[in-house]
Amino acid sequence: MSHAKTTRIFDTGIRPAHTDAPGVELRHAPALLRRPLEFDARQARRLLRERCHIVFYSRFAVGVVLDRDIIDEPARHRYWAVGQKTADVLRERLDIEVDVPTREHFDDLRRMLSNCDEPLPIVAFGLLGTHRDLSDPARHWSVDFETFAVYESAPRRADELLESFNDFRPHWLTVTSSRGAEAVADAIGIDRLRDLQTSGALEIAAIGPSTAKTLEELGLSADLVPEIPDRDALVTEISHHPTPNT
């Protein structure tokens, strides 16, 4: 592999990544687009009349829920977020404390919640179609648990993504979710991506182990998986790697 003056990174995450790393050209081309969903706000308000553990899986979920005025007394509850950035949005908007797992993984959040010494009902807000289940601590405490899907993501038009990829000719491709990996594979083509990886012209970075597993199931591989699933840190870490051959 050879070094190049500029490393071109094709960022397919829903939110754009940012980096101050020198020698990096970043193009944001989201593979998925988000939109809020109608959900049972009346049921959510009913559950939140009493003190609960409230769990948010993303910053977007925070925005959808708070814009609907679901939480009328923020100080009443205890809050949890999968990642630090989601927690930061909660702190900024509600001025409350938020628990965050050190490794910023859902499994770690579930372990922290299971070991919590405050048995309260659990109310979670997140993305439609994800498989994040907090029923174990709820059963352990004999409390209620309910998840509300408050937004969804749908694949971007495949021709738009492919055109942007062809025009940019990236050295690296980032995927930040399993659904995003599937959308990228559909738009660009698994065979082509595999050929580019095999020839050393392209490397793929996955935001976390679950996304890397999806890539493997698609017949591709993750050349880089960061310890902490942070988009900006992922791009910075890529900048420290040799640029693939082109």
Which residue, 116, 131, 153, sits at the end of a domain? 153
* Residue 241, pLDDT score: 86
Residue 108 counted as domain residue? yes
Strands 145-155 and 32-36: antiparallel
For residues 34-45, give the mean pLDDT.
Answer: 95
* Residue 111, pLDDT score: 92
Residue 245 counted as domain residue? no
Tokens of 174: 């980032």
For residues 162-171, give the mean pLDDT.
Answer: 97
Q: Classify each residue of 176-201 as buried b or exposed e, where b means 16 or more C-beta atoms within 10 Å of its C-beta.
A: bbbbbbbbbbebbeeeebbebbeeee
Amino acid at 231: R
DSSP code at position 6? -
Report phi then psi at 16, rounded to 5: -70, 140
- The verdict on 128 and 226 lying in the same domain is no
d(CA 44, CA 41): 5
- The verdict on 148 and 162 lying in the same domain is no
The count of domains in the chain is: 2
Residue 1 counted as domain residue? no
- The verdict on 219 and 184 lying in the same domain is yes
Question: Does residue 169 carry a pLDDT above 80?
Answer: yes
Question: Does residue 32 carry a pLDDT above 50?
Answer: yes
Share of the chain above pLDDT 90, in %: 76
Q: 170-200, pLDDT tens digit by residue?
A: 999 999 999 999 999 999 999 999 999 999 9
- The verdict on 126 and 161 lying in the same domain is no
* Residue 240, pLDDT score: 86
Residue 206 counted as domain residue? yes
Residue 216 counted as domain residue? yes
- The verdict on 55 and 93 lying in the same domain is yes
* Residue 104, pLDDT score: 79
Query: What is the domain extent for residue 194?
Result: 7-31+157-239
Q: 112-161, pLDDT tens digit by residue?
A: 999 998 999 999 999 998 878 899 889 989 999 999 999 999 999 999 99
Contact 127, 61 (CB under 8 A): yes
Question: Does residue 103 carry a pLDDT above 90?
Answer: no
Name the more confident of 84 and 131: 84
Counting DSSP H helices and E strands in the chain, the numbers are 10, 10
Which residue, 153, 179, 209, sits at the end of a domain? 153
Tell the burial category of 172 from Cβ atoms under 10 Å away from its Cβ (0-12, 13-18, 19+).
buried
* Residue 40, pLDDT score: 96
d(CA 90, CA 62): 7
- The verdict on 143 and 170 lying in the same domain is no
* Residue 20, pLDDT score: 85
- The verdict on 20 and 73 lying in the same domain is no
Question: Does residue 3 carry a pLDDT above 50?
Answer: no
- The verdict on 51 and 148 lying in the same domain is yes
| Spatial CB neighbours of 157, under 8 Å, sequence gap ≥ 6 | none
* Residue 246, pLDDT score: 56
Give the CATH number for residue 18. 3.40.50.10090
* Residue 2, pLDDT score: 44
pTM, rounded to two decimals:
0.78
Cα distances from 70 to residues 34, 94, 209, 231, in angstroms, run 20, 12, 33, 29
- The verdict on 141 and 45 lying in the same domain is yes
- The verdict on 187 and 233 lying in the same domain is yes
Residue 244 counted as domain residue? no
Residue 246 counted as domain residue? no
* Residue 231, pLDDT score: 87
Which single residue is written with the structure tokens 């859902």? Answer: 106
Which residue, 153, 171, 206, sits at the end of a domain? 153
